[in-house]
Amino acid sequence: MLASVEGGCEMTFSQEIVVPHENGWTTEAVEKAEREYYEGLEHGGSRMLAGLQQSANILRSVAVYLEKKKKPVCETLATPPFGRQAGMDTVL
């Protein structure tokens, strides 16, 4: 989600994590599966954050360009080709 804030734009990301398990598992088995699942997510999460940092750097460059052109940054980024019609689930 992209929102205008004083001095710029704020991007909010959220992710729902569901740990798969079967009915009849013991509490210990579910907890073990959750631990293993979250440990696996740590590596993927760090790669995702590195990608987000790269995206943030690109967006900063785009924002500087838009400001020079006197265009509203947040509104421009929330419309195609940057927004939903670009095939993204969230507005960037």
**Residue 66 within a domain:** yes
**Residue 20 within a domain:** no
More confident call, 61 vs 7: 61
**Residue 34 within a domain:** yes
CB 67 within 8 A of CB 73: yes
Domain count, the chain: 1
Peptide bond into 81 cis (omega under 30): yes
**Residue 21 within a domain:** no
**Residue 91 within a domain:** no
Residues of the domain holding 64? 2-15+26-86
**Residue 92 within a domain:** no
Q: Tell me the pLDDT tens digit for each residue of 36-65.
A: 888 887 777 788 888 888 888 888 888 788
Predicted structure pTM score: 0.41
CB 66 within 8 A of CB 60: no
